[in-house]
Amino acid sequence: MTGSANPFLGPQPYCARERDRFFGREESTRKLAQSILAWPCVLLFGPSGAGKSSLMQAGVIPLLEEKHGFRVVHVGAWLSSHAPLESLVQAMFEDLELGPVPEGMNAPEALDEAVRRAERRSERPVLLLSGPARATPPARACPGANGRAARGTGAAGAQPLPGTPARAAAA
């Protein structure tokens, strides 16, 4: 090899900060981003190791953030040991920087409050991102827009936030 760094990370997914090394997937990135823009719910699926996480983290998410102003909520995996609605509420408050989750509210009320705060904060669209039951290894954590590590990729079902375009993706 000449003096350039090896562009392949091995079994680890590419992150947004490694986009310059993530190439050859431009058409897939464009098509998936267009699907997310066109449909409120998109499911990205494929065999393990096919590059779904890299496609989302180094391709689609940066494109949607930069070209379309998306805000991203990383919900992570829907684990049976965690209540899905509470996980969504926690992720929305953290990733959209909405402050602490209000005490004394049940999960549906807290979700309504998260939506209200998200609408007041910005009209930019929101991508709700869900993914497999694994996390990016800490040594390779891919910080999200607010510094939290991305916990997964993909698109799951979601209702649009009133007044705030919302999209969902799952892998």
Read off the CATH number of the domain in which 133 is found.
Answer: 3.40.50
Do the domain assignments include residue 11?
A: no
Do the domain assignments include residue 112?
A: yes
Residues 6+ apart with CB under 8 A from 10: none
Do the domain assignments include residue 1?
A: no
User: In this predicted model, what pLDDT tens digit does every residue of 106-158 receive, in sequence order?
Assistant: 999 999 999 999 999 999 999 999 875 344 433 344 554 333 333 333 333 33
Summarize the chain as % helix, strand, coil (round to 5).
Answer: 40, 15, 50
Do the domain assignments include residue 59?
A: yes
Do the domain assignments include residue 3?
A: no
User: In this predicted model, what pLDDT tens digit does every residue of 145-155 receive, in sequence order?
Assistant: 333 333 333 33
Q: How many domains does the chain have?
A: 1
Reduced to 3 states, what is the DSSP secondary structure of residue 92? helix
Which residues pair with residue 168 across a beta bridge?
A: 41, 128
Do the domain assignments include residue 134?
A: yes
In this predicted structure, what is the pLDDT of residue 83? 87
Residue 155: closest CA among 21, 38, 25:
38
CA atoms within 13 A on the CB side of 132: 14
Q: Residue 113's domain spans which residues?
A: 16-170
Do the domain assignments include residue 160?
A: yes
Do the domain assignments include residue 126?
A: yes
In this predicted structure, what is the pLDDT of residue 93? 98
Structure tokens at 82: 């965690």
In this predicted structure, what is the pLDDT of residue 162? 47
In this predicted structure, what is the pLDDT of residue 6? 56
The residue behind tokens 């954590």 is 141
In this predicted structure, what is the pLDDT of residue 15? 76
Residue type, 66: E
- Mean pLDDT is lowest, of 28-37, 49-58, 79-88, 139-148, for 139-148
